[in-house]
């Protein structure tokens, strides 16, 4: 594979070398309405040139253009959350994890202050949907969420946030306030050249069904979670 860097990505092809930059492909306004009735509009952006070729989205929420202008003028950086796809939690309301409530919370908080939510197609911390469900079966046999990932042949967390840095650069956001409890997201984004000026914690969405999952996130990967 050639390592030659080109400024303009070639026409969409799955085998082109990873480009350094991505560009916005389309932006379309989508009215969102959640199950609890909360609604807002999102500018849903698609991209050309994302490193892994997957169909990741960036949602511009609230007055995100104003937030960007204020950021460029030295004001507060826009609020931003990278949210990894969770079909069971985001779509079906599974209580095995806290993804659905985190997504719902993030959209409202970001819409309120103006900013971005990246919706990333890396299910199950990057292992995929079937493997995640296999890991659930092992969790029912007593393993925690990370032990179960390892038992099905995967790492604790296989996510990579390079495409987030690409998407933020494409819209001109070079500094953010990161809405996340996950220290790895902050570290990776900083390493990718995004200035993470603050890490803003999300609420704790604790239920009887997800208590062990949240405890493992806190104890194994250092998530900032206060569990009663
Ligand atoms: Zn989930």
Quote the CA–CA distance of 194 and 5 in Å, as a whole number.
Answer: 21
Kindly report the pTM of this predicted structure: 0.85
What is the Å distance from ligand 1's center to 58 Cα?
19
Q: How many domains does the chain have?
A: 1
Q: Which residues contact 102 (CB under 8 A, 6 or more apart)?
A: 83, 202, 205
Residue 177 CA, ligand 1 centroid: distance in Å: 23
225: how many CB neighbours lie within 10 A of its CB?
18
Confidence of residue 22 (pLDDT cuts 50, 70, 90): very high
User: Does residue 133 belong to any structural domain of this protein?
Assistant: no
* 72 within some domain: yes
Measuring CA to CA, which residue among 173, 168, 209, 212 is closest to residue 71?
Answer: 173
* Owning domain of residue 112: 17-122+159-221
When comparing pLDDT for 206 and 60, which is higher? Answer: 60
What gap in Å lies between CA 82 and CA 218, rounded to an integer? Answer: 18
Helix (H) / strand (E) element for 186: namely: helix 183-191
The answer to whether residue 154 sits within a structural domain is: no
- Report the CATH number that the domain containing residue 70 is assigned in CATH: 3.40.50.10990
200: left (phi over 0), alpha (psi -120 to 50) or beta: beta
159: annotated active-site residue: yes
For residue 21, is it within any domain? yes
Q: Is residue 172 a part of any domain in this protein?
A: yes
- State the distance from the centre of ligand 1 to the C-alpha of 83, rounded, in angstroms: 10
Task: State the pLDDT at residue 210.
Answer: 84
Catalytic residue among 90, 96, 157, 177: 157
Point out which residues pair with 42 in neighbouring strands: 30, 61
169 sits in which H/E element: helix 162-171
Chain-centroid distance of CA 225 in Å reads 18
For residue range 127-151, list pLDDT tens digits in order.
899 999 999 999 999 998 889 989 9
Categorize the per-residue pLDDT at 228 as very low, low, confident or very high, splitting at 50, 70 and 90: low
**What residues have CB less than 8 Å from 120, skipping those under 6 apart?**
56, 82, 83, 84, 85, 159, 161, 163, 164
**Tokens 């900013």 sit at which residue?**
115
């Amino acid at each position: 594979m050639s390592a030659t860097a080109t400024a303009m990505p070639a026409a969409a092809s799955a085998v082109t070398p990873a480009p350094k930059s991505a560009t916005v492909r389309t932006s379309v306004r989508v009215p969102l309405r959640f199950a609890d009735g909360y609604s807002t509009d999102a500018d849903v952006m698609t991209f050309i040139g994302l490193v892994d070729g997957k169909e990741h989205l960036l949602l511009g929420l609230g007055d995100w253009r104003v937030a960007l202008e204020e950021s460029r003028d030295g004001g507060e950086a826009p609020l931003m959350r990278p949210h990894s796809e969770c079909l069971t939690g985001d779509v079906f309301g599974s209580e095995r994890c806290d993804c659905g409530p985190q997504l719902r919370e993030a959209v409202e908080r970001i819409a309120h202050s103006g900013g971005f939510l990246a919706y990333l197609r890396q299910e199950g911390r990057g292992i995929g949907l079937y493997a995640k469900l296999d890991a659930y079966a092992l969790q029912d046999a007593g393993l925690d969420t990370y032990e179960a990932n390892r038992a099905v042949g995967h790492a604790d967390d296989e996510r990579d946030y390079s495409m987030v840095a690409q998407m933020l650069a494409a819209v001109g956001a070079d500094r953010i306030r990161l809405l996340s409890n996950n220290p790895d997201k902050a570290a990776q984004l900083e390493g990718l050249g995004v200035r993470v000026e603050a890490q803003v914690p999300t609420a704790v969405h604790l239920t009887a069904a997800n208590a062990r999952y949240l405890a493992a996130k806190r104890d194994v990967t250092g998530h900032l979670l206060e569990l009663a």
